[in-house]
Chain A
């Protein structure tokens, strides 16, 4: 036993083609690319309610993919994501209105919100678990206050119109591409050292610290990245929607983004897509009034939290494993089904 360090961690080689890392990574990339193409086709062909639903799902998927880093991989409930989303929307709109070219306005918005995420992280990344939730929640509430009250800039509670920066066709292309690129970034991050560190924090933060993981710095980085994703989604939302208002970015929306991750499955690549579809897409498609659909989302979320710790995707993959022809088990790994965990590969 001297040269096991490069061997794949679990499955003995040869059981399946997908067990080879290169094949697996290539398959994942192709799948992500295909999803982007499908999203683009849906975005350009669907009309009315369906078109609106599809658009919101893609936008939310981009934003929630950011949240999936800090909350999904790291297990830290950030309730500020809608504020980052709103920050991107408002700052890009204001910058555009002041005469900046669109690309510059987008860069300024994303940079400013990323910096804000860094500041929020510096304050709250040293706190543990639920203080973090309360702190980020409060941050979100303050941003809502600002959006409602800084009327000169934001237009107040009724919102403000957005100048056209990107041509509508460009926005749609950017949306589909952003979703795919977001997935690729998440895929890479979750397999880098940052991903392993975050997963270890999610499992047991004290233990992670004792294994040398710089937990505060890791959480800070994760929260900052989540802000970047949220801001960019906000820029696209403003461009597509043509009007933005504080009610799109309240902490109620942050709750729903949190819920989307939990529904899909913490840290799962496609959790943002599955979760956003349930949380924001379905209520648009099945019109039963706002209250009823939210009640349903609440009930589904509690049931999933109680019964499926790996979320819907985790639950599906359990079912899939069960019906697959039996595969050889590595020694000692007979019990404990895979719940919310993918193998960690530290290069």
Chain B
């Protein structure tokens, strides 16, 4: 049982890091950023390549994280910016970007998965009856550090407060004179960097492949719906909850269907609250 819970926390940290990025972007721009999965894959590939060329791990990891940030900002500059006032077109843009990003990865690196070696691959942590690989410990630690850093940024700096204001109410924020464009770019930068962190931390437990983040992206969307839009705390809480649900389902029902348990959670939420957990219906009239 302890093992299952620890695995749940591992999964939950991963979901949270991805979901926080999605929720920020959804919050400021109403974009369901399917392209995030392609950004994560390319970040992992850059870390992998840098390692292959002899770069020390810390440098390779940093390169991967920066790649995530740069690519994410590029998607905003080149595509999303132009549908800012037309959220209905956003899913189409997101899918177009996903096609481009994933197939770029496929084109450069081929379809087979690649193993990403990290210095702490062999480390194993034992506490009581629970064992945890160094890779998973590293992910939990990295995720916690990144999220604490982010929440400090959002709550303590003027820039962060502006992002939160835009995420909560775009029109009100515009009336308060907050420059919109910069907040959009910033949200994409933060999301991309977090995607890079997820990529570097997650790839060693799995494989680097163009489609490595697809299932995580889906779970992360459930977390976004679970935790509420634009809420970092909600995304972290929702991430951990969903991580536990999937870990429990995978341990006691069937490991092959792990992400299906996330789907069950999504169905339950949307049957009970079609507009999502934390949004109130009839926004336009309130």
Interface residues in chain A, defined as those with a beta carbon under 8 Å from any beta carbon in chain B: 75, 77, 123-124, 126-131, 133-135, 137-139, 141-142, 145, 148-149, 206, 251, 255, 258-259, 262, 289-292, 294-295, 297-299, 301-302, 305-306, 309
Contacts and interface: CB of A to CB of B under 8 A. Distances in A.
Contacts, number: 127
B98 interface: yes
Interface in B242-286: 254, 256-257, 259-260, 262-263, 266-267, 270-271, 274-276, 284
Interface of B: 26, 30, 32, 34, 79, 82-83, 87-93, 95-100, 102-104, 106-107, 214-215, 218, 221-222, 225, 254, 256-257, 259-260, 262-263, 266-267, 270-271, 274-276, 284
Most buried by B among A134, A137, A297: A134
Top-6 shortest CB links A-B = A298-B99, A291-B107, A298-B100, A126-B274, A302-B96, A294-B103
8 contacts: A134-B225, A134-B266, A138-B218, A141-B263, A255-B99, A291-B106, A305-B93, A306-B93
B90 to A, nearest CB: 7
Given A138-B222, A142-B260, A145-B259, A129 B95 contact: no
B276 A301 contact: no
A290 B106 contact: yes
A134 B32 contact: yes
Given A295-B107, A306-B93, 5 more contacts: A141-B214, A301-B92, A301-B99, A302-B79, A305-B96
A130 B274 contact: no
B266 A135 contact: yes
B90 A130 contact: yes
Contact of A145 (B96, B97, B221, B256): B256
A289 B270 contact: no
A306 B79 CA distance: 8
A282 to B, nearest CB: 14
A299 B260 contact: no
A333 B83 CA distance: 26
B221 A149 contact: no
A295 B263 CA distance: 29
Contacts of A297: 99
Given A141-B263, A255-B99, A305-B89, A295 B270 contact: no
Nearest to A297: B99
A298 B103 contact: yes
Contacts of A299: 96, 100
Contacts of A306: 79, 82-83, 89, 93
A298 B96 contact: yes
Contacts of B87: 129-130
In this complex, which of A133, A291, A306 has the most chain B Cβ atoms within 10 angstroms of its Cβ? A291
B276 A131 contact: yes
Nearest to B78: A302
B103 A124 contact: no
B237 to A, nearest CB: 19
A16 B95 CA distance: 41
A341 to B, nearest CB: 15
A131 B96 contact: no
User: Which residue, of A137, A251, A258, A299, has the highest number of chain B Cβ atoms within 10 A?
Assistant: A137
Given A126-B274, A128-B274, A138-B221, A295 B257 contact: no
B103 A123 contact: no
B278 to A, nearest CB: 13
A75 B89 CA distance: 10
A127 B270 contact: yes
B96 A130 contact: no
Contacts of B96: 259, 298-299, 301-302, 305
A195 B32 CA distance: 27
A138 B83 contact: no
Nearest to A261: B92
Q: Select the residue from A290, A297, A298 with max chain B CB neighbours within 10 A.
A: A298
A297 B259 CA distance: 29
Nearest to B256: A149
B99 A259 contact: yes
B263 A142 contact: yes
Contacts of B107: 289, 291-292, 295
Given A305-B83, A306-B82, A298 B270 contact: no
Contact of B259 (A135, A141, A290, A309): A141
Contacts of A298: 96-100, 103
Contact of A123 (B225, B254, B270): B270
A135 B218 contact: no
B88 A124 contact: no
Nearest to A299: B100
A262 B97 CA distance: 14
A297 B89 CA distance: 17
Contacts of B271: 123
